[in-house]
Amino acid sequence: MKLKDRLTALIPQWRDEIKNFSKDQGKVKCDEVVIEQVIGGMRDIKSMLCETSYLDPLEGIRFRNMTIPEVREKLPKPGPNDEPYAAGIFYLLLTGEIPGKAEIVELEDELSKRSQLPKYVYDLLNALPKDTHPMAQIAMAVLALQRDSLFAKKYNEGLKKDLYWDPTFEDALNILAKLPVAAAYIYRRSYKDGKEIPSDPKLDWGANYAHMMGNDKPEYYNLMRLYLLLHSDHESGNVSAHTGFLVNSALSDLYYSVSAALDGLAGPLHGLANQECLKWILDLMTKFGGRAPTKEEVKKFTEETLASGKVIPGYGHAVLRKTDPRFVAQREFALKYLPQDPVFMTVDTVFQVVPEILGSIGKIKNPWPNVDAHSGCLQYYYGVKEFDYYTVLFGVSRTMGIAAQAVWARGMGCPIERPKSVTLKMLKDQVKEVKVEPPAVAKEVKVEPPARKKLVFIGGGQIGGNLVLLSAQKELGDTVLYDIVEGLPQGKSLDIMEARPNFASDMTLTGTNKWEECQNADVVIVTAGVPRKPGMSREDLLNINVKIVADVATNLKKYCPHAFVIVVSNPLDAMVYAMKKITGFPKHRVVGMAGLLDTSRFCCFVAMELGVSVEDVSAIVLGGHGDDMVPLPRLATVGGVPLTTLCPKDKLDKIVDRTRKAGTEIVNLLKTGSAFYSPAATSIAMAESYLKDKKRVVSCACLLEGEYGVNGYYFGVPAIIGKGGVEKVLQVELTPEEKALFEKSLSGVKKTVEETNRAIEQMKL
């Protein structure tokens, strides 16, 4: 089996890596613990190693360092319009690699072969009262299967420790193969006619589960695939994952581990949020006669709920600081398949109203919805209305993550978990022993100046030189100008160094041809590439500049792994997409400059037309950086006065047209180059907002994951830039005409991204 062969090759490498790292760095402190964490459920204590997934506060769950949109895009699918094979996420969690379709088909066939549920499990389930909670039934069914554990058998035969992972992997396949059969039978027996629907070997693992439950709609097959993927793993600190990991660490076989994990999942504080959120939505609809309420009605109901001291289920997350990408994925599914369903419409209206209200309160770190705020309405629409069963669906999915973590832990030879506990008296005594140092004498206090920030500018052309100058004038930090041409970055940096006395700057400015001198940058601005020439479209640049940006991205990944990256190179929409794809950096740390440049040009032309200060003009430009950009005169103001009341439509149309063609106008005038002063100024403005945490609202190319109904593309939108990078994308209600222009611009970006992907694939990075 190819999956097992791959694990056989990978596990020894991983084991050696962990062993050597622990040997060399084992005494390095990785966290500090305070008393409130000891008393408060060990929350946020970094004390567990988990390779399968990581919860990023700004990007949500990352499966093997891949975001939800990336996983949905890259995993093999049964058909071009289908969600990925659910078993594909198990392969990814185990290996960290995207499987080919052949590998998944082989895995699916293997699961199908192992799916026969023994008669004794049916006998056990049939002996239980039908109203036994389905989570109790599924946990008992898994535990009953323990008699067939291959790990238990091999362990008792004296299996070598470095091979523990092998029978654990076999147990994992057997559990995953049989679990949907048992879960579907429990559903049929507890809620339907009790008649089992046989497995269909022609269907994939996820679709077959839906089939055995009694729903053969292709749409529901897709929903099941999506649901199983989204809920499969969530680090190892949550109750179900940690329970499975803990029991596994005692060398209990996987049947014990999974059964125990399912018991933890059944708790009201862990696995029941899905049904509680749906119940709240249905209660809300009942209040309005069973219909979907309006935004105003939801707003009033939400304010009344909060005023009474209650919470809004599904909103707010202990870690996330944005809308849960799993919520976004399910919302996309609903918009595609059930946009007029009243329950979904209510969920969507709540999504549009509640975050703004919660955000205005100020005490809530994350006012956005998590996955549970959406999951229930989809199951409800397709006829799965038995709330107690929702956790079984969750459990089937989460078993993939628990099983993958167990195989990995056995492969690494992870020891038994044994944290140390303390008594309350011990904590009190420790507090008494803490000595409070007397304040130091003022003259002895040595105040170190704050460390300077480091800015790296890639590309020593006209924009690069101006970046150095503007950064030095604003004293944003020390700069490094990189270029492959020897002498060019050194000469420009030295020239500006010599000019510093005239604007009182003490920043250090360095020019280099070595990537090593760029390392540990706080901000990187990428301008490298061939400039656009007369008659050359931005898209003509793609095949040339994507190779240049790919080289830059590869080096940034190595030397500047924590930098905030601003891409200026053209075609902008393609280059920023390539930068994100190749570096793998979180989306909040990779952004395209162009939107602010387009906005700056629009404001300039308005000020020139009206004879007013540019400082008093405020505007928004959306879309791709090209002729299809979408200026929004309707939202522009001059000193707070709507622009549309100050400027006739015919003149506004000319300003919009000139804005769209502003880059070409400069190219045609210069004849041997393109704009460089204004791109440099706008790039520095973005860098300054990041370095000084100014929280400026600027139009820029951000990776959208559900905002504006767009997923997986960089597109010009207004966003807040602060110390967290792109901290929030602001959504603007568009008129039908603006929406049409928006979609036209998006179609151009999509085409460019397709060409970019082909170019990247040809490079075989």
Q: Catalytic residue positions? A: 270, 317, 372
Which sign, positive or negative, has the C-alpha torsion 439, 442, 443, 446? positive
DSSP H helices, 196-270, are 205-213, 218-230, 239-249, 254-265
Residue carrying the six token digits 């950096």: 585
Bridge partners, residue 509, by sequence: 479
Q: Which two tokens stand for residue 183?
A: 């879960």
CB 495 within 8 A of CB 709: no
Own/partner long-range contacts of 447-453 (Cβ < 8 Å, ≥24 apart): 452/477, 452/478, 452/507, 452/508, 453/477, 453/478, 453/522, 453/523, 453/691
If one counts every other C-beta atom within 10 angstroms of the C-beta of residue 503, the result is 12
What does each C-alpha distance from 156 to 145, 415, 512, 602 come to in angstroms? Answer: 18, 19, 63, 75
Task: Give the span between the Cα atoms of 447 and 443, in whole angstroms.
Answer: 10
Which sign, positive or negative, has the C-alpha torsion 97, 102, 105, 107? negative
Name the residue type at position 763: M
Q: What is the DSSP letter of 625?
A: S
Residues 6 or more apart whose Cβ sits within 8 Å of residue 590: 565, 567, 576, 579, 580, 583, 703
* Phi/psi at 66 (5° precision): -115, 135
571 preceded by a cis bond (ω within 30 of 0): yes
SS3 562: coil
Task: Give the span between the Cα atoms of 759 and 531, in whole angstroms.
Answer: 19
Task: Give the span between the Cα atoms of 705 and 244, in whole angstroms.
Answer: 32
Task: Give the span between the Cα atoms of 76 and 88, in whole angstroms.
Answer: 7
Cα angle 644, 647, 648 (rounded to 5 degrees) comes to 95
Task: Give the span between the Cα atoms of 671 and 533, in whole angstroms.
Answer: 7
What b/e readout covers 179-189, taking b as 16+ CB neighbours within 10 angstroms? bbbbbbbbbbb
SS3 701: strand
Q: Which two tokens stand for residue 284?
A: 């809300």
